[in-house]
């Protein structure tokens, strides 16, 4: 019995040590208020996106929840309005798995809204299948949909500057690769539907996010728009139910913690010179050479333009 208690105590101690040293996410310390500012958060009906939208609403922003599922999004709107006391929170339909929907969202937004100060490309998924346009679903939603959305809204962001584009990537980008032959042949970043194959595809798509931000920053030089990619941490979100055993969730932080680096990139003063960089734990981080490869980033941009019909 004593041995069992000793083992349990050791495990608890190990978990607490992991929580303090690795798992706990620092808080965004910005006190910025956003009255009169408009923000779009994709995938804001749940998880990190919802926590991000709530914080921004508490700061007084007009927050657009850009989501596919109307029922869940309207429920999130109600929750956020109640918790923030801000009625300037609304839902607009956006299905990132449909380039037609992305274009429709951008058109409707530009007609109805006079400002856009912050665009947070938060939505992401880890499931197989194809998009409406025949792309791999992970590739289409995590990269191509956000790529098109950002390009279609760039002029409004420039008009309202200083403004920011924040794209939620992942530390899994470090294991990603960009196979242009596979993209050209199969309209996807890789092949296979096993759990391992999907995890690899997810990593590839998150590398796309980092390279997209790297190239976007180059193209925004001389404007008053800056951009950042980030790793939110190991967070308990809906995506986890597809990939982890419940016991592993003990090592995942909550969604409020997961929103902190997104908020830092959206709000923190003085990080403009770091446009195009990658952040984690509310701080800029170095990335591997492949995640800042100018030639690959430029080629990915040009290929993405062609795939979404901009070239």
pLDDT at 133: 98
- Spatial distance between the Cα atoms of 51 and 164, rounded to a whole number of angstroms: 19
Q: State the DSSP H helix or E strand holding residue 302, giving kind and residue range, or none if neither.
A: helix 294-307
Average pLDDT, the chain: 90
In this predicted model, what pLDDT tens digit does every residue of 277-302 receive, in sequence order?
999 999 999 999 999 999 999 999 99
For residue 15, pLDDT beyond 90: no
Residues in the chain: 311
**In the chain, what percentage of residues exceed pLDDT 70?**
86
- State the residue for tokens 């901009």: 310
Distances (CA, A) of 47 to 51, 132, 148: 6, 25, 23
Q: Is the separation of the CB atoms in 138 and 126 below 8 Å?
A: yes
pLDDT at 256: 83
Confidence of residue 1 (pLDDT cuts 50, 70, 90): low
In this predicted model, what pLDDT tens digit does every residue of 112-150 receive, in sequence order?
999 999 999 999 999 999 999 999 999 999 999 999 999
In this predicted model, what pLDDT tens digit does every residue of 154-211 receive, in sequence order?
999 999 999 999 999 999 999 999 999 999 999 999 999 999 999 999 999 999 999 9
pLDDT at 27: 93
In this predicted model, what pLDDT tens digit does every residue of 87-102 receive, in sequence order?
999 999 999 999 999 9
* Residue 26 DSSP code: P
- State the residue for tokens 């495990």: 11
pLDDT at 39: 98
Residue 1 lies inside a defined structural domain of this protein: no
pLDDT at 246: 47
Q: Is the separation of the CB atoms in 99 and 105 below 8 Å?
A: no
Residue 141 lies inside a defined structural domain of this protein: yes
Higher pLDDT, 242 or 68: 68
Query: Has 35 been annotated as catalytic?
Result: no
Q: Six-digit token pair at 154?
A: 């760039």
Q: What is the CATH number of the domain that holds 58?
A: 3.40.50.720
Residue 173 lies inside a defined structural domain of this protein: yes
For residue 244, pLDDT beyond 60: no
Confidence of residue 24 (pLDDT cuts 50, 70, 90): low
Residue 184 lies inside a defined structural domain of this protein: yes
Mean pLDDT value across residues 105-118: 98
Range of the domain at 163: 31-307
| 19 upstream amide cis, omega within 30 of 0 | no
pLDDT at 141: 98
- State the residue for tokens 């303090």: 20
Confidence of residue 235 (pLDDT cuts 50, 70, 90): very low
Residue 21 lies inside a defined structural domain of this protein: no
- Spatial distance between the Cα atoms of 96 and 76, rounded to a whole number of angstroms: 19
- State the residue for tokens 């760039």: 154
Residue 240 lies inside a defined structural domain of this protein: yes
Residue 26 lies inside a defined structural domain of this protein: no
Confidence of residue 259 (pLDDT cuts 50, 70, 90): very high
pTM, to two decimals: 0.88
> What domain count does the chain have?
1
Catalytic residue among 15, 35, 91, 202: 202
In this predicted model, what pLDDT tens digit does every residue of 45-84 receive, in sequence order?
999 999 999 999 999 999 999 999 999 999 999 999 999 9
Residue 75 lies inside a defined structural domain of this protein: yes
């Amino acid at each position: 019995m004593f041995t069992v208690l000793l083992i349990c105590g050791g495990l608890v101690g190990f978990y607490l040590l992991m929580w303090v040293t690795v798992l706990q996410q620092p808080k965004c310390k910005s006190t910025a208020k956003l009255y009169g500012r408009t923000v779009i958060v994709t995938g804001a009906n749940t998880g990190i996106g919802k926590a991000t939208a709530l914080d921004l609403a508490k700061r007084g922003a007009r927050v657009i929840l850009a989501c596919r599922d109307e029922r869940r999004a309207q429920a999130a709107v109600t929750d956020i309005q109640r918790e923030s006391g801000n009625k300037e929170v609304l839902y607009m339909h956006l299905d990132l798995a449909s380039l037609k929907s992305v274009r429709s969202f951008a058109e409707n937004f530009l007609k109805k809204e006079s400002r856009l100060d912050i665009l947070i490309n938060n939505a992401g998924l880890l499931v197989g299948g194809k998009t409406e346009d025949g792309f791999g679903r992970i590739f289409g939603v995590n990269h191509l949909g956000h790529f098109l959305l950002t390009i279609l809204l760039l002029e409004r962001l420039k008009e309202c500057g200083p403004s920011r584009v924040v794209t939620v990537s992942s530390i899994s980008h470090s294991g990603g690769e960009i196979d242009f032959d596979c993209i050209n042949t199969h309209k996807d970043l890789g092949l296979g539907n096993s759990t391992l194959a999907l995890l690899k595809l997810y990593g590839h798509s998150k590398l796309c996010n980092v390279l997209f931000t790297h190239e976007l920053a180059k193209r925004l030089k001389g404007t008053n728009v800056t951009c950042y990619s980030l790793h939110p941490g190991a967070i308990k979100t809906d995506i986890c139910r597809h990939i982890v055993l419940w016991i592993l969730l003990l090592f995942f932080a909550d969604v409020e913690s997961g929103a902190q680096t997104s908020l830092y990139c959206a709000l923190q003063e003085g990080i403009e010179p770091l446009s195009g960089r990658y952040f984690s734990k509310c701080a800029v981080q170095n990335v591997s050479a492949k995640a800042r490869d100018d030639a690959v980033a430029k080629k990915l941009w040009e290929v993405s333009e062609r795939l979404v019909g901009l070239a």
